[in-house]
Chains A and B, each alone.
Chain A
């Protein structure tokens, strides 16, 4: 496998027609690189949840995929509005998703807990109104 590999994806706010594309490309790339399929599955789930959160809850942002030796990093950053209470946001079932979003099947309040479960290391940092940064590390 190549020693280092980096890709960046922009994620638009409320752009539901391309939402999920970044995660799909990440999954495809890791498959091509021969990463173990159970690790790919965890990364696909975590990056999908991160991508949807940027699309649904933020003003837009980006996702970085970085493969460095035996670790894969998925890092996200968005342009606001940030999360008031991160501990609350990390709680299973807690969501601020509105009616329209819930009708589409989002808003179970499971996205952030899913990410944390899937990643070997999970870090979240958020500031109102600047934005939210998430760093997830997966050991290959």
Chain B
């Protein structure tokens, strides 16, 4: 099967890769680019474990065909930390025990970042709606909401 050459900017670096047209962006990121942070929970847009920012919009990478990413700018969870220093969201998830098995965490972090980029001071309701596309089978969500609230406070302080 012919493979298409795709040029993207991922986590700030220009990245070229080859992919079959039917491959999802999620599988291309994981198998061709070697970024395994985004996870496949469902493959159908329901769980959000595969969330990435594509041209600054939070998207399920499982619903994107890899060739659609040609020319796009992508942020995955691997791009959140800044030269070894965790993003405030990551730090607050760790300190607030907002994860257990961790499968959902990369998706929550990306969706939370998308929210805070647009709305630095969200209400609890706004956070819950913004994270409605992310499912977690372990935490019961409360600690995740608290971690996002805490990160928002810290980020506004900076």
Chains A and B bind each other: no
Q: Please report B residues at the A interface, Cβ cutoff 8 Å.
A: none
